[in-house]
Structure 1
Amino acid sequence: MAALDIKGICCSYNGKPILDNLSLSVAENEIMCLLGASGCGKTTLLKAVAGLLPVSRGEICIHDRQVNGPGVALVPELRNIGMIFQDYALFPHLTVADNVAFGLANKEKNKTRIRARIAEALELVNLAELGGRYPHQLSGGQQQRVAIARALICQPRLMLLDEPFSNIDTQVRMRLIGEIRALLKGQGISAIFVTHSKEEAFAFSDKLALFRAGQIEQVGRPQTLYQYPDSRFVADFLGLANYVSGQVLDSHSVSTPFGRVDSVSALGQAAGTHGQLLLRPRQIQLTLAEQGNGRVLEQQFLGSHTRCLVECQGVRLEVSINEPLPAVSQVNVSVAPHTLTFFPDAEVSSRQTEPMRKLG
């Protein structure tokens, strides 16, 4: 049984279609990320699932229970979901404990049980000692934990998170992402997470649905979308991409301006096919060589890696290496065998993908 099953839904704002025949499924205890640029329909889908936006066509089922459709209109408070907003939506005049208890007030009247549930929720988010404080006395990360505790106290089976980390300092964000992910997994809660940050999406999600103009361009594990994108739009959105003109030599190799590149799996393209070979910066190797086929034009030390701009046989490449090279180095450019992603020219043209990123 899926935690959430969306079948062919359509949604509009003021008569303008936003989601068009969109389908998506979220498994039990799975965290699904909706990733895309502003205005592509991510938050619209979240609101439709929550019951905050009408659906003109299609079905939404939460844990095998249909919540919309002809004669069915389950209100948000009966859908057994928790919501966490971008601005946390905490009441400034209420203490942390009272903020956390707010969602439980209409469901539980026994004050002893309410206090016990508050203590349990605050313990889960590591705020057990801060129940008497007010929101303005907390850091951004602590305020986010309060919002999470408030959502958890009603014991939802599905959590909806709308860009919950965007207001948190970068240094705190990744630690908080790890904590919340572990908390959701430990509680067995499925989640849909909206963001426009690929870094957050990679760190937080089990699966990733990349949105484009109200449609899902590709859905799958984050590693799969990054390494094996279905289109150049997906490839470009998820990270730096080099596109190298090439020709398929056989089922496992491509000819490029800097030599033959081998694939560890079948390309699925006929020999002689022309197109663009996708190479991520980490898939390109540089070796110092006086008679090498490439030259380092520019370097930037970025802490975790060094960005290099390399010219090789008239092609400019973005390359990531661990340690900086001597200035204006002559290098040999090579690509270790891996599963190649190759976009045939005819396919690139027919899909009307994004223009090639200019490097340098």
Structure 2
Amino acid sequence: MAALDVNGIRCSYNGKAILDNLSLQVVENEIMCLLGASGCGKTTLLKAVAGLLPVSRGEIRIHGRPMNAPGVAVVPEERNIGMIFQDYALFPHMNVAQNVAFGLQSKEKNKARVRARVAEALELVNLAELGDRYPHQLSGGQQQRVAIARALICQPRLMLLDEPFSNIDTQVRMRLIGEIRSLLKGQGISAIFVTHSKEEAFAFSDRLALFRAGHIEQVGRPQTLYQHPESRFVADFLGLANYVPATVLDSRTLVTAMGTIGSQACLNAEPGTHGQLLLRPRQIQLSLTEQGNGRVLEQQFLGSHTRCLVECLGVTLEVSINEPLPAVSQVNVGIVPHALTFFPDTRQGQRAVA
């Protein structure tokens, strides 16, 4: 049984469809990321799952239970979900323990049990010693941990996170992402995570669904979408992309200005098909040589890597290398062996790697 099953739903604002015939499934203990630009529909889907937005068509099931159907309309507080927001939504006049206890007090009247559950939740998020503090006395990362503890205390089976890391400093963000991911996995909680940051999506999710204008362009493991996008839109959204004119020679070979390039997987295109070969910056290798086929035009040292702009046989490529090269170097441009991604000119947007 899926943790969440969204089947052909339609949601509208002021009569305009934002989501139309959208389907998505989240399996047990999976973290699914909804990734996309502002206004693409990802938060609309989150609100529909939470019961905060009506669904005019289609069905939503949470752990097999229908949330909307003829004669069925399950209110948000009965959906057994936890929600974590971008702005934390903490009560400033309540201390940490009171904020965490707030959602449980309407369900559990035994004060001793409430205190015990609060202590357990704060222990999970490493705030056991801060129960008496108030939100303004905490850092952004600590405030987000309070929001997480408050969502966990009612023991939800599905967690919804709406851009929860956007207000947190960059240095803290990746550590907190790791902590929350481990916490959700350890508690066996499925989650849907909304963001517009591909870095957060890559670090936090098991699978991601890339949204575009109210529909899902592609869904799968982050590595799969990055390395084998099914469209130019997906390729460009998820990272820097070089495109090299190419022609299919056979099922595993492309012909380019740089010579023939072999693929580690079959190309889903007929021999003679013209199109574009996608190359990520790390899929290109440079080696210094006076007889090389490329010339370094520009370099930028970025700490973890060096961005290198190279002109090769009339094609300008952006390459990621570990160490800077001597200025205006002559280099040989090679391709790291991998399963090539090829977009035919006559069928733009279709992946050409089996």
Q: Match of 1:37?
A: 37
Equivalences for 1:250-265 in 2 at 5 Å? 250-265=250-265
- Taking the TM superposition and a 5 Å limit, the aligned residue runs for 1:13-28 are 13-28=13-28
- Partner Cα separation in structure 2 for residue 310 and residue 290 of structure 1: 15
Tell me, which stretches of 5 or more residues in structure 2 are unaligned?
Answer: none
> Is 1:146 aligned with 2:169?
no
Q: Which residue of 2 aligns with 1:358?
A: none
- Partner AA of 2:339 in structure 1: T
What is the aligned partner in structure 2 of residue 357 from structure 1?
Answer: none
Aligned length: 351
TM-score by length of structure 1 reads 0.97
Please, which moves more after superposition, 333-342 or 308-317? 333-342
Write the distance in 2 (CA, Å) between the matches of 1:126 and 1:263.
48
Aligned equivalents of 1:84, 1:222: Cα separation in 2: 23
The aligned counterpart of 1:212 is 212
Shift of 1:70: 1.2
- Name the residue aligned to 1:281: 281
Distance 1:265 1:299 in 2: 32
Work out the CA distance in 2 between the residues paired with 1:201 and 1:27.
17
SS at match of 1:208: strand
Aligned to 2:167: 167
Deviations 1:289-326 (A, max 9, x none): 10100000000011110000000001000000000000
Letter of the structure 2 residue corresponding to residue 142 of structure 1:
Q
Q: CA deviation at 1:134?
A: 0.2
String of CA shifts for 1:171-227, please: whole Å, max 9, x gaps.
000000000000000000000000000000000000000000000000000000000
**Deviation, structure 1 residue 337:** 2.1
Give the AA of the match of 2:7.
K
Task: Please give the per-residue CA displacement for 1:27-51, whole angstroms capped at 9, x wherever unaligned.
Answer: 0000000000000001000000000
Q: SS of the residue aligned with 2:255?
A: strand
TM-score by length of 2: 0.98
| 2:185 paired residue number | 185
Quote how far apart the aligned CAs of 1:269 are.
1.2
Distance 1:199 1:150 in 2: 26
Separation of aligned partners in 2, 1:181 and 1:224: 20
CA distance in 2, matches of 1:134, 1:320: 46
Worse-matched range after superposition: 58-67 or 332-341: 332-341
- 1:202 is matched with 202
Seq. identity, %: 83
Query: Which secondary structure does the structure 1 equivalent of 2:173 belong to?
Result: helix
Distance in 2 between the 1:151 and 1:102 partners?
Answer: 10
Deviations 1:96-121 (A, max 9, x none): 00000000011000000000000000
After TM superposition, the structure 1 = structure 2 runs for residues 1-360 of structure 1, keeping only pairs within 5 Å, are 1-348=1-348, 351=349
Letter of the 2:298 counterpart: E
Residues 11 and 17, structure 1, Cα contact 8 Å, conserved in 2: yes
In 1, Cα distance between equivalents of 2:167 and 2:135: 15
Give, as a single letter, the amino acid of the residue that structure 1 aligns with 2:325.
Answer: L
Question: For the Cα contact (< 8 Å) 1:262–1:336, is it kept in 2?
Answer: no
- Name the SS of the counterpart of 2:291 in structure 1: coil
- Quick one: which amino acid aligns to residue 261 of structure 1? I
CA distance in 2, matches of 1:161, 1:303: 31
> Partner amino acid for 1:152?
L
Rounded to whole Å, the distance in 2 between the matches of 1:210 and 1:28 is: 20
Give, in angstroms, the shift of residue 245 of structure 1. 0.3
SS state at 2:145 partner: helix
Q: Quick one: which amino acid aligns to residue 138 of structure 1?
A: L
SS at match of 1:247: strand
The aligned residue for residue 355 of structure 1 is: none
Regions of 4+ moved over 6 Å: none
Taking the aligned partners of 2:264 and 2:255, their CA distance within structure 1 comes to 15
Give, in angstroms, the shift of residue 93 of structure 1.
0.4
Q: Which AA in structure 2 matches 1:346?
A: T
One-letter identity of the residue aligned with 1:176:
L
SS at match of 1:88: coil
Structure 1, residues 252-274: CA drift from partner, whole Å, max 9, x if none?
Answer: 11011111111011112111110
User: What is the one-letter code of the residue matched to 1:239?
Assistant: G
Provide Cα deviations, 1:75-132, integer angstroms capped at 9, x if missing partner.
0000000000000000000000000000001100000000000000000000000000
